[in-house]
Amino acid sequence: MKTRLILFILVLGVGVTIAGFMIKGKSKMQNSLEYRESIDNKLKVINPYDVNPKLVDSSVLAVRSGHTIAPFSLVNQYGEVITEKNTENKIYVANYFFTTCSSICPVMTTQLKRVQTEFPGEPWLKLLSHTVWPEGDSVSRLYNYALKYEAIPEQWWFLTGSKSDLYTMARKSYLVVPDENDPDYDHGNESDFIHTENFVLIDPKNQIRGMYDGTNPDEVSDLIKDIYDLKREFNF
């Protein structure tokens, strides 16, 4: 009788242990990128109507569907003209910065470098960092800044152009304008200055698929996961 009881306890213990390993194994699998890529989990398409009204230009505020990034023509750190043709059929992340910024910009650029490190040189992914200070951020200054952060030349572009073009894109395409209470908010005037921490994820159809706080490592981790989701969605 004692022998049977001991055997029963041993069998029960082994069963519980195996079940525990199976549960732990399943949990780890559910958190893996492989598991994420096995689920049909498409990201929402974001339109101006979906965004905080304080971050949207009034001319596009009522748009509920069909919003896309407008055509553009800017210059990168190598003096090359970059247009929407360079991002055609690609995923890309856009943000705004300026080279002499000592507050949030170094943090954001370091976080964007994490994205580059996760997808080094992938031809289907681009990173577009737009200056908010084109009068000061010359091509040579952008070049040196790109070197500092070890930007891969064909993947990560630091862009300049006319202030009007850069700011119109921020307000009407990327939807990252400052709050109206921002002390530097002077819409359309020479003293107008935007300063935003947002990263914007754009899909190959030029649609916004995600917005993230570029100073928050956890949100940038979410961005990386969402890039994997788009990669799967568009079969890259």
CA 229, CA 221: separation in Å to the nearest integer? Answer: 13
The tens digit of pLDDT for each residue in 81-139 reads 999 999 999 999 999 999 999 999 999 999 999 999 999 999 999 999 999 999 999 99
Write down the domain spans for the chain: 2-31, 48-233
User: What pLDDT score was predicted for residue 182?
Assistant: 53
Name the strand (E) or helix (H) holding 115: helix 104-118
Q: What is the mean pLDDT of the chain?
A: 84
Residue 187 annotated as part of some ligand binding site: no
Residue 105 annotated as part of some ligand binding site: yes
CB-CB contact of 172 with 70 (8 Å): yes
CATH T-level fold of 48-233: Glutaredoxin (3.40.30)
Residue 101 annotated as part of some ligand binding site: yes
The tens digit of pLDDT for each residue in 4-20 reads 544 444 444 545 444 44
Q: Spell out the residues 6+ positions from residue 194 whose beta carbon is closer than 8 angstroms to its own.
A: 96, 132, 167, 170, 171, 176, 177, 178, 184
The tens digit of pLDDT for each residue in 42-75 reads 899 999 999 988 888 888 989 999 999 999 999 9
What do you get for the CA distance between the two ends of the chain, in Å?
63
